[in-house]
Amino acid sequence: MHLLIVSATPFEIQPLTNHLKSSFEKISDSHFKKNKLEIRLLITGVGMAHTAFSLGHVLAKNQFNLAINAGIAGAFDRSLNIGDVVQVVTEQFGDLGVEEKDGSFTDVFEMELFDKNQPPFEDGLLRNEGAAGFGFLPKCKGLTVNKVHGTNASANAASKKYGADIESMEGAAFFLACKLSEVPFLQVRSISNYVEARNRELWDLPKAIKNLNNILIEIINVFASNQ
């Protein structure tokens, strides 16, 4: 089995990297092997553009049985707790469009610049049809933005418009690249904060990263034992 693990930054998956270095055969700094399981790590850089380019480059030259996007996220949904780990089953672009003179936002689908049902989109959404195989993780709807929301007004407007549960800066680009490349995929996110008036003192990055990596290590250990 060939597994690709994708993260925007190295620190979000550092515990996993440490585990691979100690428990797997190291082929290179980003390539590890155990039994018949081979794992490659891809650090894309933050944001949609870096993610799309990095994935397009790697997926054009390599074949993978599964790609996993792992990282932290902000939660719109207050029923989610800081540190909860979820899988994202739908994604959408949250700031691809225009700001109107009244301050409202109109996206490219509403502008009819792009058909909301042109594959791989379905009603403007990117769906992960293969997510059912990881049913032990709660399912969430993701919203991907270049500029994360930092006021209560903008956060509430985005939540009302799109009905998303969480927000990230890479998820939809990851979904799009995997769907167009026909690579099975999974997006796993851990909640580090709520999407609200920006206050880093209320975030808990260590807890989110710890919980995220515990799940990632559990997943790859199951894969390794089944090879």
Q: Cis peptide before 120, with omega less than 30 degrees from 0? A: yes
CA atoms within 13 A of residue 208's CA, in its CB half-sphere: 23
The CA distance from 92 to 173, in Å, is 9
Length of the chain, please? 227
Tell me the whole-structure pTM to 2 decimals: 0.95
The CA distance from 22 to 32, in Å, is 10
Angle at 45 between CA 22 and CA 195, to 5 degrees: 100
- Domain locations in the chain as residue ranges: 2-222
The CA distance from 6 to 54, in Å, is 10
Consecutive 10-residue averages of pLDDT for the chain (227 residues)? 97 98 95 95 97 96 96 98 97 96 94 95 93 82 96 94 97 97 96 96 97 97 85
pLDDT value for 152: 95
Considering only CA atoms, which of 145, 126, 130, 32 is closest in space to residue 42?
32
pLDDT value for 132: 66
pLDDT value for 129: 85
pLDDT value for 227: 67
Q: State the CB neighbour count (10 A cutoff) for residue 133.
A: 9
Residue that the structure tokens 């610049």 belong to = 113
Intra-chain end-to-end CA distance of the chain, in Å:
7
CB 191 within 8 A of CB 113: no
The CA distance from 109 to 115, in Å, is 6
Return the biggest CA–CA distance within the chain: 59
2-222, CATH topology level: Rossmann fold (3.40.50)
